[in-house]
Amino acid sequence: MTPNSVFVIHAFSTFYLVGLIWMVQIVHYPLMDRVNSDRFAAFETDHSRIITPVVAPMMLLELATGALLALGYAPTWMPLWAAWTGLFAILLIWASTFFIQVPCHAILASGFDEAVHQRLVTTNWIRTILWTARGVMVGVILWRALENTGAL
């Protein structure tokens, strides 16, 4: 696998996750309070079971390719600072996921709690903003690379 292909795979996983997090932030999480309270625990359990295979492989792919880029397997046209900044943002996203959002989901699995739901929606902006910033940065790097090759 070449550094260019690592970057392309990285860009793909990042763009996928940017789209997914915006759907979750604007549509899915806000609508959770509309689920009937007697069915909410089952809804939350199903949500966690179903969303994990949609999110986890791409998060792992983004982390692995982000680490490769930062640890010296980046294309020559990619600034090293961008690779390290991107990896740092990925690590912040993972920290937010496992220390804030996952615990909220664990509490909600017992039943709807308005305060926990509000915390989930509010704190998920951390991931939404970080992934969006990553997506913009990856997009700008890709754009500049394509411009420099004459592809644009």
Encode burial over 47-74: b for 16+ CB neighbours within 10 A, e otherwise: beeeeeeeeeebbebbbebbbbbbeeeb
Quote the pLDDT of residue 149: 76
From the CB of residue 14, how many other CB atoms can be counted at a distance below 10 Å?
25
Quote the pLDDT of residue 69: 98
pLDDT digit string, tens, across residues 106-128: 999 999 999 999 999 999 999 99
Judge contact between 86 and 138, C-beta under 8 A: yes
DSSP symbol at 73: -
